[in-house]
A and B are shown apart, each in its own frame.
Chain A
Amino acid sequence: MTEFFRQSLSITVKDLRLEMRSKEALNASLSFALVILLLFSFAFDPSSEHTREISGGLLWLVFAFAGVLVLNRSFARELPNDCLEALVASPVSGAALFLGKALANFILLMALELLCLPVFGIFYNVNWTAQFWNLLLVLALATWGLTVIGTTFSALTVNLRLRELMLPVLVYPMMIPALMAAMELTTHLIAGQPLSADLWLWLRLLIGFDIIFTALALALIEVVLVS
């Protein structure tokens, strides 16, 4: 078991190191996120009270759009030189490989989101620090959900000609339950409301989503990777 996690961690460290060297996914997604934030300001009046009410939704749209750029690179990164083959042929199980990659994606996405939050706060005049720890919990849970779906589908589409086109088409509809819950929770938390009883339904949905899809992904990833 410790072997399993040690291998996962090696994969995570490797992925993060590769990303830090090239910064291809992070730079692209971060600037894309800023562009979307800018574009939203034309669609909605950023200073109106009404926009405040949909701020959670806006924020998660930004995360989802920019995040897929990161997720898309996850398995595509292994393609040059056929590195994926060496990993699949090594004693690392599919589940360990998946967990390692998912963890690296999770860290990258969280970094992206935490960088976007203050910018969002400034441009849209929202107080994201009001319920910061609860917000962080929601961010972590929803980001893990997006990561699991994104990493699985990144593996599923890695050998496709139209990989960049296919991934968003497949991934966004699958992510909707997590995004829906995250949007609802974030809107309330940004407005300064604590996690009350009627928000629990959404939190439960989020946790359920994470558990179900993590289990499914871990169970099926080996099948996906071995052709």
Chain B
Amino acid sequence: MGTKILYVLGALAAVLLVRNLYVILLGLPDEKDQGAIYRIIFFHLPAFFTAALCYLTALISSVVYLVRKSQRADDLALSATEVGLAFAAVNLVTGMIWARIIWGIWWTWDARLTWALITWLIYAGYLMLRRAIDDPSERAKNAAVLCIFAFASVLITWKSIDWWRTQHPGAVLSIRGAEGGLDPAMESMIYFNWLALLLLCIVLVAVRMRQERVQREIDALRRHAHAL
């Protein structure tokens, strides 16, 4: 992706984030039961969606790598996983802050929380596995296989509120069939902030991919030098 496009996307993300923050903090009124803290949902939920999308991207590009052996696909899988982990961490931390205020404790061992954490650990394991393998092709291949296994936990996290009785609030978006949950202004705000985080995510992934490509070039040059 061209550097200019990246700058434009980055600037767009920044402007949108500032605008969203302004509306979230000053525009929208407090919620009647939760008070001010409900606003955290505008980051909690979009961060999860962004992370899930990253995991999905990693899954698809891992499959593409296994089929086509394209290094670019592997770069994308790695970059998406790294950025996804960052957004998943945002999701977990915002959730914990909210839980501290509303439930009075930082963490409940509730199915959805637990699965979000398990997923995070599995993808952290993915990064550790990559670190432990020296040969770049072998690394890409084994990581791709692990990534396919790992995605099962993303699916379980997503479905966990349906499968187990949990304290975690149920589906809130109207597209998941939630009834009368959210005020339309709030729901649209969630989408707006998701857009901002998504733009940020794309910029980060693109930058990481570029770093990976350069890293591979350096590795290849080093091997050339050794072969001389």
Q: Are chains A and B touching directly in their complex (CB below 8 angstroms)? A: yes
Q: How far is the CB of B70 from chain A (nearest CB, A)?
A: 15
Who on chain A is nearest to B124 by CB? Answer: A169
Say yes or no: A173 contacts B118, CB within 8 Å.
yes
Say yes or no: B146 contacts A176, CB within 8 Å.
no
Contact mask B120-153 → A, CB, 8 Å, 1/0?
0110010011001101011001100110111011
* Chain B contact residues, majority secondary structure: helix
Say yes or no: B149 contacts A223, CB within 8 Å.
no
Contact mask A140-179 → B, CB, 8 Å, 1/0?
0000000001001100110111100010011001101100
In the assembled complex, the Cα of A173 lies from the Cα of B150 at a distance in Å of: 9
Q: Which residues of A contact B128 (CB under 8 A)?
A: 166, 169-170
Q: Which residues of A contact B66 (CB under 8 A)?
A: 223
Q: How far is the CB of A160 from chain B (nearest CB, A)?
A: 5
Q: Does B9 contact A (CB under 8 A)?
A: no
Say yes or no: A170 contacts B129, CB within 8 Å.
yes
Whether A174 touches B122, Cβ cut-off 8 Å, given contacts A156-B129, A160-B133, A216-B148, is yes
Who on chain B is nearest to A169 by CB? Answer: B125
Q: Does A227 contact B (CB under 8 A)?
A: yes
Q: Which residues of B contact A177 (CB under 8 A)?
A: 156
The number of residues on chain B lying at the interface, defined by a beta carbon within 8 Å of a beta carbon of chain A, is 23
In the assembled complex, the Cα of A156 lies from the Cα of B135 at a distance in Å of: 14
Say yes or no: B132 contacts A156, CB within 8 Å.
no
Say yes or no: B129 contacts A157, CB within 8 Å.
yes
Q: How far is the CB of A140 from chain B (nearest CB, A)?
A: 22
In the assembled complex, the Cα of A159 lies from the Cα of B135 at a distance in Å of: 11
Q: Return the contact of B118 from the options A159, A176, A213 (Cβ within 8 A).
A: A176
In the assembled complex, the Cα of A201 lies from the Cα of B152 at a distance in Å of: 18
Q: Which residues of A contact B132 (CB under 8 A)?
A: 157, 160-162, 166
In the assembled complex, the Cα of A162 lies from the Cα of B131 at a distance in Å of: 10
Whether A152 touches B153, Cβ cut-off 8 Å, given contacts A166-B132, A173-B121, A223-B66, is no
In the assembled complex, the Cα of A227 lies from the Cα of B138 at a distance in Å of: 6
Q: Return the contact of A156 from the options B137, B145, B163 (Cβ within 8 A).
A: B145
Q: How far is the CB of A169 from chain B (nearest CB, A)?
A: 5
Say yes or no: B122 contacts A156, CB within 8 Å.
no
Who on chain B is nearest to A163 by CB? Answer: B132
Q: Which residues of A contact B163 (CB under 8 A)?
A: 201
Q: How far is the CB of A61 from chain B (nearest CB, A)?
A: 16
Q: How far is the CB of B86 from chain A (nearest CB, A)?
A: 19
In the assembled complex, the Cα of A100 lies from the Cα of B32 at a distance in Å of: 61
Who on chain B is nearest to A226 by CB? Answer: B141
Say yes or no: A173 contacts B142, CB within 8 Å.
no
Q: Which residues of B contact A176 (CB under 8 A)?
A: 118
Whether A213 touches B149, Cβ cut-off 8 Å, given contacts A166-B129, A227-B138, is yes
Instruction: Provide a sorted-by-A list of 29 A–B residue pairs whose CB atoms are within 8 angstroms.
Output: A149-B149, A153-B146, A156-B129, A156-B146, A157-B129, A157-B142, A159-B138, A160-B129, A160-B132, A162-B132, A166-B125, A169-B125, A170-B122, A170-B129, A173-B118, A173-B122, A173-B125, A174-B122, A174-B149, A174-B150, A213-B149, A213-B152, A216-B149, A220-B145, A223-B141, A224-B141, A224-B142, A227-B135, A227-B137
* Nearest 6 CB-CB pairings of A with B: A170-B125, A173-B122, A173-B121, A160-B132, A162-B132, A220-B145
